[in-house]
Amino acid sequence: MSPLLDVRDLRVEFATRHGTVTALDGVSLRLEPGETLGVVGESGCGKSITALAIMGLIPMPPGRIAGGSIRLDGEELIGAPERRLRQLRGRDIGMIFQEPMTSLNPVFRVGDQIAEAILLHQDVSRDEARTRALELLRTVGVPDPGQRIDAYPHELSGGLRQRVMIAIAISCQPRLLIADEPTTALDVTVQAQIFDLIRDIQDRLGVAVILITHDMGAIAEMADRVAVMYAGRVVEEGPADAILDSPAHPYTRGLIGCIPAIDPALAALDRLPPLAEIPGVVPPLHLLGQGCAFADRCIEAVDICRKVAPPLTGRGHAVACHLHAAAAASEES
């Protein structure tokens, strides 16, 4: 089966006051139809930039796609004309954002905001679009959709607004749904509902999902595959089970260590003491040196880690870490 989305060696640069910084440094991701890829990492690791790059929404300037390729069903998106990208956005790729409170336009009724997406991509009348919007509101579990369709965003709660956002994102039955931290701004109880909804929609529409999050618990529940990102690179990538059960990169181990152990599914892992933390913060991108970007925070780092950036190696479960490569090599010999 050919991949639905094939991102290869994507490089994105931003012009800043500190000169050009590389926000994405050779990111590669693959997504099969109907699959869920979890993208995890701390704030600033390039998760959202990756999503925006796939949507063709990197602000340029200051941004620039310096290299690589993004293929959707074999069609190259980098350098594709804006007209074509506009067709794909909202029709083939739907996106849900982090902030439901501010992601809907405050001066338009939510029904109209859903209908707009339908009218842009489908040859239907206004009435038909409205009927579709009403169905979508029902699909995403908005109670009393007949009333809510004429509500303004400020009249809805955060959870309902996020449901409206999801309705917009799936309005044209996309093949790919990108959810960029869809629950970060919501109450915990609502978070679970939104994840359930996304999974339900995925089952129903067979849409592939990229779930961007720093919530390893959500990854454990939702993702088929996981890509762990750090400072603009993918440092570990593979099946979700493999990564959660036997994380190979010290950063991934750190992330999993940060999950509160009360979650029984993960308490069973019991590899690190509950609520560990990763010392330090993601380095500012303009200060990145030659070596592994994580070296300064890594308790296991050795000399080579500070000198040479490790490549992502391994089939199926790939890791970018010198230590892991050395361990794997010694196992084989």
Which CB atom, from 166 or from 323, has the smaller least distance to other proteins? 166
**Binders in 33-62 for other proteins, by CB under 8 A:** 55, 57
Which CB atom, from 7 or from 151, has the smaller least distance to other proteins? 151
At 241, is the secondary structure helix, strand, or coil? helix
* Other Cβ atoms within 10 Å of 55 Cβ, number: 20
Max alpha carbon distance in the chain (Å)? 69
Residue span 166-185 as binding mask against other proteins, x where in contact by CB under 8 A, dash where not: --xx----------------
Which CB atom, from 130 or from 322, has the smaller least distance to other proteins? 130
Among 155, 196, 200, 245, binds other proteins (CB under 8 A): 155
Single-letter residue type at 21? V
Kindly indicate which of the ranges 16-24, 36-44, 151-159, 250-258 contains the residues binding other proteins, using the contact rule CB under 8 A.
Answer: 151-159
Residue of 177, 257, 258, 267 whose CA lies nearest to 222: 177
Residue span 274-313 as binding mask against other proteins, x where in contact by CB under 8 A, dash where not: ----------------------------------------
Kindly indicate which of the ranges 2-10, 69-77, 165-173, 236-244 contains the residues binding other proteins, using the contact rule CB under 8 A.
Answer: 165-173
Size of the site for other proteins (CB under 8 A): 31
Which CB atom, from 94 or from 310, has the smaller least distance to other proteins? 94
CB of 83 to other proteins, least distance (A): 9
CB of 113 to other proteins, least distance (A): 8
Kindly indicate which of the ranges 162-170, 204-212, 230-238, 296-304 contains the residues binding other proteins, using the contact rule CB under 8 A.
Answer: 162-170
Q: Are 331 and 316 in contact (CB under 8 A)?
A: no
At 288, is the secondary structure helix, strand, or coil? coil
Residues in the chain: 333
Which CB atom, from 89 or from 163, has the smaller least distance to other proteins? 89
At 107, is the secondary structure helix, strand, or coil? coil
What Å distances lie between residue 99 and 56, 67, 161, 191, 256, CA to CA? 20, 30, 9, 13, 25
Residue of 260, 226, 263 whose CA lies nearest to 241: 226
CB of 247 to other proteins, least distance (A): 32
What ranges make up the beta strands (E) of 152-262?
Answer: 176-180, 208-213, 225-230, 233-239
Q: Are 224 and 37 in contact (CB under 8 A)?
A: yes
What ranges make up the beta strands (E) of the chain?
Answer: 5-16, 19-31, 36-40, 63-72, 75-76, 93-96, 176-180, 208-213, 225-230, 233-239, 318-319
**Binders in 83-142 for other proteins, by CB under 8 A:** 86-91, 94-95, 97, 99, 102-109, 116-117, 120-121
Kindly indicate which of the ranges 136-144, 148-156, 288-296, 303-311 contains the residues binding other proteins, using the contact rule CB under 8 A.
Answer: 148-156
- Contacts to other proteins by CB under 8 A: 55, 57, 82, 86-91, 94-95, 97, 99, 102-109, 116-117, 120-121, 152, 154-155, 165, 168-169
